[in-house]
Amino acid sequence: MNEKIDIRDIFRFLPHRYPFLLVDRILDFEEGKKIVGVKNITVNEPFFQGHFPGAPVMPGVLILEAMAQTGGVLLLRNVPDREKKLIYLAGINNAKFKKPVVPGDQLKMILEVTKIKSKFCQMKGEAFVNDEKVAEAEYLSTIVDIEEIERRDDKK
């Protein structure tokens, strides 16, 4: 581990962009096994305008998405022709939220692969602020070819 990945590299691995890119840096990485990423939570995040005015809290679904994107970096990092692939979230199980995430927090996300089979991957994710667990979930993801999606759309 101990391989740091900065935002320029994340742009190469994920198709997400502002305002929906929810991982700022990868702190640690173990090929095909584990990844540790961070998202710096600022008051300027667009979702805070409506969630909730006067008492901003990061929506739980975006915490889950931030963890999923971090896992996406792990899964796509060494995939050949990754610019022609997307990772789709196929399922989330046992999601739990333990504490609110607010402006000024740094969300640290740890994702570990629990099973890989063909194009599917299961991961366990945990999110922390100041070493206190704020959320956890289990993920099922699949890698798809962008060309498959385009062909499917052309048939409509």
- Separation between Cα atoms, residue 116 and residue 127, nearest integer Å: 22
Please tell me the number of Cα atoms within 13 Å of 154 on its side-chain side: 6
Active-site hit among 51, 82, 119, 133: 51
E runs forming strands in the chain: 25-30, 34-40, 85-97, 106-117, 120-129, 132-145
- Separation between Cα atoms, residue 104 and residue 144, nearest integer Å: 36
- Separation between Cα atoms, residue 72 and residue 149, nearest integer Å: 18
Q: Are 104 and 51 in contact (CB under 8 A)?
A: no
- Separation between Cα atoms, residue 13 and residue 73, nearest integer Å: 6
Active site residue 16: no
What residues are labeled active site? 51
